[in-house]
Amino acid sequence: MKIVLFVLVLASSSHQDIELQTSSVVRGSLGERVSLPCRIVGWYSVRALTVVWTKDQDVPVYTHRAGEGEAASGFQGRASLDQSQLDAGNVSLLLSDSSPLDEGNYTCQVGRASGRVELKLGGLGSRPQFLVDSFRSSRSLSLSCWSRGWHPNPVVSWTSSDGQTLTGAPLDDEEQGASVLKDVRDGVTLTVQSGLNVTCTMRNPVLQTQSEEVLTITGDFPPDVSPWLLAFWGVFPLVAMASGIIGYFFKRKRDSVKEKERQVREAEREPLMKQDEYAELKKELSAARAVSNSEWKRVLSKRTKIFSLTPGSEGPELSSGSHYWEVILRDVRRWTVGVKKEEAVLGRDSFPETGVWSFSYSPEKGYCAWLHPPFPITPSSQPKRVGILLDYSEGQLTLYDPGTKPAQRLYTFNAIFTTPVRPFYE
């Protein structure tokens, strides 16, 4: 027993002069294999030496002793040394399936010598995508840019091709899942003109890499409604492409309904969609439509008593303020409700571009918001009444199904009303 002890002491003292070479910081991508460098300077075979890797305050990671290696709990199956490198004195730690919990300061110890490596991990999020939030006025647009899967949070910057100084602000009302990877949304308000390019850049401070997207504003200015809709439709397909992976993002109340509708429709086109996933989407759509009690109170407070609509009739001219009215659907098989400009003609080409903002039902087309092309709507139940809130100055026309509990929002038109409009029921 004494002899063994003596040999060990001798062995370790003969290596006192070991010198280790490490890097102070290693940056790696989450989920991938990272290598924490540690090499004995000069030539040493490590086979007979003890190599101990620990993390932070002496948390064991990996021990190599008498030719045998062993990963500590939490690192089993993930931590290893490259056996082919041991004879060259290379005792770099290989760590696979890295997670944010692996970040920290690692110590590589060989004999009395030790070296430290700090591991920083990052996740580069998805390519950013744009969402048009609202039109503040004819030329002022609120836009946001979002991306999923970041660690740590990215540094977001905005630039526009006309040199405006854009200051973004994080919109952090997104629900975050349990994942350590975060979804990020950042908003900016800018002055737009046709042909403007807006760039949203998200930079990972750890990986020092970035992901960016450019939005080109199209349309002729000064705008009426159509360029805005074009911009909106131009932007949206980007979002739709990712719809399968953004799930909870769309639990947002504000414009969640439109996006969810699109998801449901995408799902309907997907032949392999599982029944339960589809049911889940429908449930989420219904949840997205639900109007909160306080909002519903606000809507009802705008109720106007000055007119009621029967099929074929129109209401008075409205050119300011907010008004809420309900249309009782006499014939539930075919109807159109909404508002129109005085001179607009109802018919095939009734779109916001021609001065008609409407919502309809027909057995052929189902429920539709009349955009160009029509935007199909799937209410959770057949409405018997349609509630309509016109916010003239804000430029919004919102349709509700007041017959459900809670009331459901069916669709919101964003518009810029410049001349009086009249409610109608066809």
Binding positions for ligand NAG, rule: CB under 6 A: 35, 39, 56, 82, 85, 90, 92, 94, 103-105, 118, 161, 195, 197, 216
Residue 152 DSSP class: S
Q: Cβ of residue 37: shortest distance to ligand NAG, in angstroms?
A: 6
Nearest CB to ligand NAG, comparing residues 92 and 204: 92
DSSP letter (8 states) at residue 90: B
Cβ-based nearer residue to ligand NAG, 175 or 220: 220
* Helices (H), ranges, 220-373: 225-241, 256-269, 275-289, 293-300
Whose Cβ is closer to ligand NAG: residue 35's or residue 164's? 35
For residue 4, count other CB atoms closer than 10 A to its CB: 8
What is the smallest separation between the CB atom of 105 and ligand NAG, expressed in angstroms?
Answer: 4
**Smallest distance, ligand NAG to C-beta of residue 205, A:** 14
User: Residue 199 corresponds to which tokens in the numbers above?
Assistant: 């760039």
Instruction: Provide, rounded to whole angstroms, the least separation between the CB of residue 400 and ligand NAG.
Output: 39
- Tokens standing for residue 255: 């414009």
Dihedral sign for Cα 326, 328, 333, 334, please.
Answer: negative
Rounded to an integer, what distance in angstroms lies between the CA atom of residue 322 and that of residue 408? 19
In the complex with ligand NAG, which residue's Cβ is closer, 100 or 376?
100
Give CA separation, 181 vs 130, 178, 311, 326, in Å: 20, 8, 53, 45
Q: Which is nearer to ligand NAG, 192 or 337 (CB)?
A: 192
* 56 vs 270, beta carbon nearer ligand NAG: 56
In the numeric block, the tokens 């410049």 are attached to: 418
Q: What is the DSSP letter of 75?
A: S
141 forms beta bridges with: 135, 190
At closest approach, how far in Å is the CB of 91 from ligand NAG?
A: 8
Q: Quick one: 94 or 242, whose CB is closer to ligand NAG? A: 94
Give the number of C-alpha atoms closer than 13 A to the C-alpha of residue 219, restricted to the C-beta side. 22
Shortest distance (Å) from residue 120 CB to ligand NAG: 8
Judge contact between 296 and 414, C-beta under 8 A. Answer: no
Contacts of 205 (CB under 8 A, 6+ apart): 122, 152, 154, 155
CB of 56 to ligand NAG, least distance (A): 6
CB 425 within 8 Å of CB 335: yes
- Closest CB to ligand NAG among 118 and 314? 118
For residue 28, the minimal CB distance to ligand NAG (Å) is 12
- State which residue, 161 or 189, has the beta carbon closest to ligand NAG: 161
The pair of structure tokens assigned to 265 is 């429709």
Please state the closest distance from residue 216 (CB atom) to ligand NAG, in A.
5
Peptide bond into 406 cis (omega under 30): yes
- Whose Cβ is closer to ligand NAG: residue 23's or residue 138's? 23
Q: Which residue do the tokens 């810029």 mark?
A: 416
Q: Smallest distance, Å, CB 313 to ligand NAG?
A: 48
Q: Which residue is nearest to ligand NAG (CB)?
A: 82
CB of 178 to ligand NAG, least distance (A): 22
Closest CA to 262 of 282, 233, 240: 240
Q: Compute the distance between CA of residue 291 and CA of residue 385 in angstroms, rounded to an integer.
A: 16
Give the SS3 label for residue 334: coil
State which residue, 197 or 393, has the beta carbon closest to ligand NAG: 197
In one-letter notation, the amino acid at residue 3 is I
Burial 72-93 (b: 16+ CB within 10 A, else e): beebeebbbbeeeebeebbbbb
Distance CA 300, CA 284 (A): 25
Distance CA 407, CA 199 (A): 38
